[in-house]
């Protein structure tokens, strides 16, 4: 194999890994956003509140397993604020 063949393999491999990582991150964001919005129903104020809470959960690095319960508690707290 010459240098050009190796360079092509490396570029294609790195591009593939990057694309899969990017796709994983996008899907994870969409799923989390849908989860937060599903807890808000059709109330526009609560939808905005839940998106703010989702951003807070990301800032606090709340894990995937705890996210649904954490968002549920935040959704329940919306009416009490």
Which one is predicted more confidently, 77 or 81?
77
Is residue 79 predicted with pLDDT exceeding 90?
A: no
- State residue 73's pLDDT score: 95
Q: Where does the chain have alpha helices with state H?
A: 3-38, 44-59, 64-78
pLDDT band at 1 (very low <50, low <70, confident <90, very high): confident
| 67 three-state secondary structure | helix
At 48 the three-state DSSP class reads helix
What is the distance in angstroms between the CA of the first residue and the CA of the last residue of the chain? 67
Rg (CA), the chain: 19
Taking only the tens place, the pLDDT of each residue in 10-65 is 999 999 999 999 999 999 999 999 999 999 999 999 999 999 999 999 999 999 99
Domain boundaries, the chain: 23-78
- Confidence band of 81 (pLDDT split at 50, 70, 90): low
């Amino acid at each position: 194999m010459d240098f050009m063949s190796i360079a092509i393999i490396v570029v294609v491999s790195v591009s593939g890994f990057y694309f899969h990582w990017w796709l994983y991150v996008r899907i994870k964001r969409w799923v989390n956003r849908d989860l937060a919005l599903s807890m808000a129903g059709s109330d526009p104020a609560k939808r905005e509140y839940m998106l703010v809470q989702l951003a807070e959960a990301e800032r606090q690095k709340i894990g995937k397993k705890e996210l649904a319960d954490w968002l549920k508690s935040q959704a329940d707290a919306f009416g009490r604020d």
